Structure 1
Amino acid sequence: MNFSEAATEKLLMIADKISNQKHMSAIKNAFSTLMPVIITGAFCTLISNVVCSTTTNGISLAKVPGMAWLEFLQPIFTSANYATLNFFTIGAVVLIGLELGKTNKMKGYAPAFIALCSYVACCPSFINFTLENKEVIQVADVFGKDYTAAKGLFLGMVIAMLSVELFSWVVKSGKMKISMPDSVPPNVSNSFNVLFPAMFTIIAFSAINFGITQVTGMTLYDIIYTMLQKPLEAVMQGLPGLLILMLVAQLFWVIGIHGNQIIKPVREPLLNAAIMANTDMVNSGNFARGDLNVINMSFWDVYMSMGGSGVTIGLVIAIFIFSKREDYKGIAKLSLVPGIFNINETMTFGLPIMLNPIMAIPFIITPLITGTIGYVLTTIGFADVLVYAVPWTTPPILSAWLASGGSITCIITQVICMAVSILIYIPFVMAANKQKMASE
């Protein structure tokens, strides 16, 4: 076995372990389910600001003479935004609990609600509110936005996984099971079977949070957010961390494994939290450009995945212009329409790019370069920061326009990235021409 085969086999083993790891799978499935919620919230904020608002600093349809009546509809989209993005963590906790419960072969919906109750038990039931005179008062018996929106995401994920594992272990041990007569209906019997395990799990997490608060003066939320979530966000919102994550995904793609699915459990919580934080700041209207997260899920889709992974829209165009191979042109024709919607499996597996030494190189490096271009042009102030989530199937140009709320500079930046991708792929398309001629 040569080095290439050994490396491929090793990567396949790693990918298999990641894909089958139950906690990673639960997070991945939960975020796939939540994607429509994220996009709905972003869409409502976009409509609220660029259609219905008469006070926004940017362009708005409601500012056009005769269209001020649109402001009357703004509460519809504000409420929908609040119901989606501001309760994102709650949805994630419930879905992770449900998915992990299924993996642990727990029947019913109990794991989902155990996860939610355990999470709420670990969060403060008050908020500190600052009055206009700068006096700070404590409002009791409320659940703060920090714990329901993106900021509480990592604590929610950790509590959901740990609580369901503890609950499942106690149930399966049978030590707290209440035996009911056979005459009792199964649904009632099942409820009593998990009664004490549920009580034990929820009270245990409440006690853990209480103990930690008494010893350290910090809640579990403070500890997880300060020591885990913020450092990870700092890494991912720096260019090196983003490029490393993309590089890992591309390496898996070229050996025939869906790279995005492998990195999804790491990518989705961090980048989706970043884009939701941007949307929330835009919705509040109280922010500076420097407060916004340059790197987020929309940044990944708009500047690093045009035409699909590897920015293969550049490869399709390069083949149309420079390829002399009929097999390449045929695959490119089939890939054009799906590629417009960022679906490129026909290129990846049909050309193929997978295990193709010539095409694997530009496939790996192109998104790294376009991502760097997008980051540089955004940080120097040429392009606006992307603030709205968009479906990953949104065609280029339209995706930049929607994600930025109508910024021309973001569209120009995306066009620059596409042009660069074409230039990167051209030499390799020409090398493939020579390869074909040599084989003939």
Structure 2
Amino acid sequence: MSNTTLLTRITDVSQKMASEVHLRSLRDSFIITVPFLVLAGLFIMVNYVFLDPNSMIGKWFSSEALLAARSIGDRILNGTMSILALMLVVLIAWSIASKRKFAAPMIPAMVSLAAFLVLMPQQVLLTPVNGTTAVAVSGVISLGLTNAGGVFMAILTAIVATDLFLWVAKTRWLQIRMGDEVPPMVTQSFQSMFSIILVVLAFALLAAGVKAGTGKEVHEIIQALIQAPLVHLTTNLPGFLVLTTLTNFLFSLGIHPSGIINPILEPPLLVAMQENMAAFARGDIPPHIIVLPFRDLYGHMGGTGTTLALLLAIFLRSKVSSHQKLGRTVLAPGLFNINEPVIFGFPVLYNPLIMIPFIIYPQINFVIAYFATQLGMVSKIVAFVPWSVPPLLSGWLGSGGDFRNVILQVALLALGVVIYLPFLMAYEKTIVEAKVKTLVDSLSTEQATPAEDARELSVLSNKTIILTCNEGMSTSIMANKMRKYAEECGYALNVYAINIGRIEEEYQNADLILLGPQVVYMQESIMKNIDNACPVVAINAEYFSKLDGKSAIEDAVVILNNRTQH
């Protein structure tokens, strides 16, 4: 099998997985929950580090004052971390229904929430405050099933309940027909009545049947058969290394892993993160070394592949002017772990010499960080930190304020510079010997020719261009550059960036959709999903790497003019 055929097959499989409705819905839903988890992580720090009675603040305030202040954080944790599963069951169901073009996606979202609560046990064993014996209590819901501990039940419930609801809703004889004078929302509600009844009834029968047949609740079976094995797999060093190696390999081929690996990797690591946060809040030893931020703190400094180390190596030893200029241009976004300009502009993409450290070096970091944590040289991660928090600050926040974790990050970055340097030198040697400055030109041979006459920019007036990538971060920088150039030329062009999950919501506003290089492999499926409503074109990789808004605008002018002429 040729390399081209293999790559084509990998791309085809990746596109199908990334386009699969349920995986896309998982990805989009987890993105929405990130701000809530960040807030929870912040108040874990505030409550149990800053407001700890043994801290410096504890010497200034009474324990009663500290307890009163901590009650604010406890309430915030109840409204964020403790209801993660509830948020996910609604978000996933709503996302699936929206992507399947259901007219009122909030209805199946509420059905899924009802089904999730139907699966809850009718009695919960609770230990009274200052008590020693647990007692059975009815009429309550355990936070252990609404927080990350219930994530897998939420995912499965949302998927099954929504698909079942949509299937039943298509059965015409179960729909109630009403006159045209009835408001649409009332009509939709009554039309869905029997679908709602049947789905909720089906889940109630399932819960009762499982309890009668096994003596266990549904959540206990899900935790034993699905959640616990997946958490063990992903928090186990070998399993984690396999998944993260595959992540970096796919990214080096230009395939963003967010819709492929992350739906498998992130939910169990999120559960592990929740367990660490809860243990830290109780004053217990956190159970897990590997949690979701572990990947970002030690293996994604500067972005996937820890390319911040590559940028530092460029500043130290690079002799190629284009590399030096690229380093200066992308350092700022790189500090916030946005590294698509490096991957597609340096490039890492299809560059064997740079792909080797890009894939292998982060795995070395993970091994070192794992054993350093296991030996007690650094703290376990006890606060959720989003991937966009800069290195060093992320180590301090994630560890609950332990500067040893920051020192470890510095050491790992220094190691990365040492590892990247020989590969960088070898790569630049091939450039010099071939008397070329960059290999990026080969990525843009089929791009449109920039507009030669500035007067052609008039086609931009009152147009909307949407840029998209995995989360809309790197393309938002490019969108700002394009908008500023259009404004300088005196044209009212609307340019903005969104994450790829919102394309189907926003495409009707667009005259042109530009894809970041990391999601180009999804071009065909995106065009199909929006029924070719507007052109969907890859951003020129060279312009993207340089954040060259002017050239990107000129390319867009050619595309828009061609569309107008046809």
Q: In the alignment, what sits opposite 2:78?
A: 82
Alignment of 1:210-359 (within 5 A): 210-285=208-283, 287-288=284-285, 291-359=286-354
Q: In the alignment, what sits opposite 1:167?
A: 165
Is the 2:24–2:259 contact (alpha carbons within 8 Å) kept by the matching residues of 1? no
Return the alpha-carbon distance in structure 2 between the equivalents of residues 170 and 65 of structure 1: 63
Return the alpha-carbon distance in structure 2 between the equivalents of residues 235 and 146 of structure 1: 21
Q: In the alignment, what sits opposite 2:24?
A: 25
Q: 2:118 aligns with which of 116, 121, 138?
A: 121
Is the 1:384–1:404 contact (alpha carbons within 8 Å) kept by the matching residues of 2? yes
Return the alpha-carbon distance in structure 1 between the equivalents of residues 358 and 258 of structure 2: 14
Give per-residue Cα distances to partners, 1:403-423, cap 9 Å, x unaligned: 001112211211121111111
Give per-residue Cα distances to partners, 1:247-304, cap 9 Å, x unaligned: 111111111121244322112211122112211111222x12xx42110111111001
Give per-residue Cα distances to partners, 1:103-137, cap 9 Å, x unaligned: 22212210110110011101103211235664331
Return the alpha-carbon distance in structure 2 between the equivalents of residues 433 and 79 of structure 1: 55
RMSD: 1.6
Moved more, 223-232 or 412-421: 412-421
Aligned length: 432
Return the alpha-carbon distance in structure 2 between the equivalents of residues 425 and 408 of structure 1: 26
Q: In the alignment, what sits opposite 1:400?
A: 395
SS in 1 for 2:79: helix
Q: 1:188 aligns with which of 161, 186, 189?
A: 186
The structural deviation recorded for 1:70 is: 5.0
Percent of matched pairs sharing the same residue: 30
Instruction: In structure 1, give the amino acid aligned to 2:364.
Output: I
The structural deviation recorded for 1:53 is: 2.9
Moved more, 208-217 or 134-143: 134-143
Q: In the alignment, what sits opposite 2:60?
A: 65
Return the alpha-carbon distance in structure 1 between the equivalents of residues 28 and 40 of structure 2: 19
Distance 1:261 1:23, change over 3 A: closer
Is the 2:169–2:195 contact (alpha carbons within 8 Å) kept by the matching residues of 1? yes
Q: Tell whether 2:147 aligns with 1:149.
A: yes
Q: In the alignment, what sits opposite 1:431?
A: 426
Is the 1:49–1:60 contact (alpha carbons within 8 Å) kept by the matching residues of 2? no
The structural deviation recorded for 1:393 is: 1.3
Return the alpha-carbon distance in structure 2 between the equivalents of residues 251 and 233 of structure 1: 23
Return the alpha-carbon distance in structure 2 between the equivalents of residues 332 and 136 of structure 1: 60
Instruction: In structure 1, give the amino acid aligned to 2:127.
Output: T
The structural deviation recorded for 1:178 is: 1.0
SS in 1 for 2:379: coil
Return the alpha-carbon distance in structure 2 between the equivalents of residues 186 and 274 of structure 1: 44
The structural deviation recorded for 1:50 is: 1.8
SS in 2 for 1:433: helix
Return the alpha-carbon distance in structure 1 between the equivalents of residues 412 and 7 of structure 2: 30
Instruction: In structure 1, give the amino acid aligned to 2:293.
Output: S
Return the alpha-carbon distance in structure 2 between the equivalents of residues 75 and 85 of structure 1: 15
Q: In the alignment, what sits opposite 2:460?
A: none
The structural deviation recorded for 1:332 is: 1.2
Give per-residue Cα distances to partners, 1:213-250, cap 9 Å, x unaligned: 11111111011000110011001011111111111111
Give per-residue Cα distances to partners, 1:60-93, cap 9 Å, x unaligned: 3422336875553221111101111011100000
Instruction: In structure 2, give the amino acid aligned to 1:319.
Output: I
Is the 1:38–1:84 contact (alpha carbons within 8 Å) kept by the matching residues of 2? yes
Gaps of 5+ in 1: none
Return the alpha-carbon distance in structure 1 between the equivalents of residues 258 and 349 of structure 2: 15
Q: In the alignment, what sits opposite 1:368?
A: 363
Gaps of 5+ in 2: 436-566
Moved more, 382-391 or 320-329: 320-329
The structural deviation recorded for 1:35 is: 0.5
Q: In the alignment, what sits opposite 1:111?
A: 108
Distance 1:74 1:135, change over 3 A: closer
Is the 1:38–1:276 contact (alpha carbons within 8 Å) kept by the matching residues of 2? no
Q: In the alignment, what sits opposite 1:199?
A: 197
Return the alpha-carbon distance in structure 2 between the equivalents of residues 375 and 294 of structure 1: 7
Give per-residue Cα distances to partners, 1:2-30, cap 9 Å, x unaligned: 73222211211111011111110111110
Give per-residue Cα distances to partners, 1:27-46, cap 9 Å, x unaligned: 11100000001111111111
Is the 1:294–1:378 contact (alpha carbons within 8 Å) kept by the matching residues of 2? yes
Q: Please state which structure has a larger fraction of its residues in helix.
A: 1
Return the alpha-carbon distance in structure 2 between the equivalents of residues 233 and 143 of structure 1: 24
